[in-house]
Amino acid sequence: MEKCRRDAYTTTSRPLMPRRVYIETVGCQMNVLDSELATADLLRAGYEPVDDTRHADVILFNTCSVRQHAEDKIYSALGRLKHVKRQHPDKIIGVLGCMAQKDRQTILRRAPHVDLVIGPGQLARLPELIARVEAGEGPIVELSLDRRADVHGTVRASFLQHDPPRTAEVRPIRQQAMVRIMFGCDKFCTYCIVPAVRGPEQSRPAEEIVAEVRRLAEDGCLAVTLLGQTVDSYRDTSGQQTVRLADLLGRLNEIEGLRRLKFVTSHPRHITTDLIRAVRDLPKVSPYLHVPAQSGSDRILKLMQRGYTAGKYREMLAEIRETIPGAAVTSDFIVGFPSETDEDYRQTVELLRESRFKNSFIFKYSPRPKTKAAELYEDDVPDEIKRQRNNELLTIQNAISLEDAQTWAGRQAEILVEGPSKAARKRPLGDATIQLVGRTVCDRIVVFEGPQELTGRILPVTIEKVDAFTLFGRVDL
């Protein structure tokens, strides 16, 4: 069976029986995009995506290592597959992404039934590496160089840039797509594993990005999210003139057919007046900025090596508010960073209260091996305190989010319809009108009733009711 399938595959460009691949993704939008691009490559190589490991010939986990919890989830999933592999030794199990780069051989030690370990800078080689495992070469570990172990140029080259063409079938809906504009990160915030696992910061050439977005727009894509770890530090120096994010947005804004553009994640230090004005002036750019503050205490920000003070963050936010009234700003915070006192935490509460973020993601500090914080500072804030601080910040933020949402009651908003809501997806098909979900330009989620065919359309809705996380509307057709 195994041999027959392989022969069929190697002797024709289209396999007689397509092999089926299951990809599970955890982590950030960058990972979601990597999985979409990996799926595009695998479709081209003749694979068929399936959504159940039981039906898959190849099972892939695209992993995250930003917090311990994300890694634990993957190790449990791998544990559950142990007996599956015993019963079906020909099934290929692969670990892709950040945890692969970070844990390396440890993955094979903890989960010896894994066949493939591929870092985020090696995903371009995925179909070839799977084929090598099928040919009996496994297990294979394919990683980029360790940032600490080599000179910059070689390390950079070992993180292969990979943004292959893709068809709309790899995305949830044709009308929305993510586009990477940068790889890696050079900030080295002391708590963060990303610079180690995603490698040195590299901006993609503007020409390439413009061409990719143009192709997407021609293919019916209406909304593009530009991705980078510090997307606002985008800088293409390959041409005669340096192209920064504000310039790039200006060029993308001209693309016919494209209706919406946004970018994540911004670093407070790189939010410039030019960029804020570009967001205000370019009609297709959403007035939405995700600018993590992480803490309101200067002492903690310094230990985190964030490169700004709470005062500087406030100045930046004030400029955004003044220039773009009604802009939605969102943030991330870490509670329980080593040595965080009640007073440090109180300063974070103060910043959170006054900043009026649309929403904030709050995380408990999780020491990441080989980061500066994990090596230099003791993880000395008890978990119970971390939990309390986390819950309290969430409660404060939720109250602000609710007040913010309430300003929408009775107003009209324009949404891009993303498809059936989670609740509607669970119900059997058949109803002409179902619950649908859409998104405003400011990334607010709107739930409303309508025919499924509205998916992918940009429509006006009137908001009738709100809660902290959702607006409930009526479609105005």
> What are the residues binding ligand SF4 (CB under 6 A)?
185, 187-189, 192, 194-195, 229-230, 267
For position 313 contacting ligand 5AD by CB under 6 A, the verdict is no
Point out which residues pair with 85 in neighbouring strands.
Answer: none
Cα(405)–Cα(473) distance, integer angstroms: 12
- Could you tell me which residues come within 8 angstroms of residue 52 by beta carbon, excluding any fewer than 6 positions away? 22
346, 289, 348, 347: which is closest to 319 by C-alpha? 289
CB atoms under 10 Å from CB of 4, counted, come to 10
Question: According to CB under 6 A, which one of 47, 191, 408, 448 is a site residue for ligand 5AD?
Answer: 191
For position 473 contacting ligand 5AD by CB under 6 A, the verdict is no
CB 412, min distance to ligand SF4, A: 36
Helix, strand and coil in the chain, % to nearest 5: 40, 20, 35
Nearer Cβ to ligand 5AD (116/334): 334
For position 358 contacting ligand 5AD by CB under 6 A, the verdict is no
CB 187, min distance to ligand SF4, A: 4
Angle between helices 206-218 and 245-253 (to 10 degrees): 30
CB 469, min distance to ligand 5AD, A: 19
Nearer Cβ to ligand 5AD (249/374): 374
Question: According to CB under 6 A, which one of 181, 192, 400, 437 is a site residue for ligand 5AD?
Answer: 192
Nearer Cβ to ligand 5AD (9/363): 363
- Radius of gyration over every alpha carbon of the chain, rounded to an integer in angstroms: 23
Cα(422)–Cα(235) distance, integer angstroms: 39
Nearer Cβ to ligand SF4 (229/360): 229
CB 265, min distance to ligand SF4, A: 7
- Could you tell me which residues come within 8 angstroms of residue 133 by beta carbon, excluding any fewer than 6 positions away? 92, 115, 116, 139, 140
Nearer Cβ to ligand 5AD (192/381): 192
Question: According to CB under 6 A, which one of 366, 390, 397, 421 is a site residue for ligand 5AD?
Answer: 366
Nearest 10 degrees: CA dihedral of 91, 96, 99, 101?
Answer: 120
Alpha helix segments (H runs only) across 159-290: 194-198, 206-218, 245-253, 273-281
Residue 365 interacting partner from ligand 5AD, ligand SF4, none (CB closer than 5 to 8 Å by kind): ligand 5AD
For position 345 contacting ligand 5AD by CB under 6 A, the verdict is no
Stretch that binds ligand 5AD, among 12-20, 107-115, 362-370, 444-452 (CB under 6 A): 362-370
Which 47-76 residues touch ligand 5AD, going by CB under 6 A? 66-67
| E-state strands within 251-327 | 260-264, 288-290
CB 191, min distance to ligand 5AD, A: 4
Burial class (CB within 10 angstroms; exposed 0-12, middle 13-18, buried 19+) of 248: buried
Residues in contact with ligand 5AD by the rule CB under 6 A: 66-67, 191-192, 292, 294, 332, 334, 363, 365-366, 368
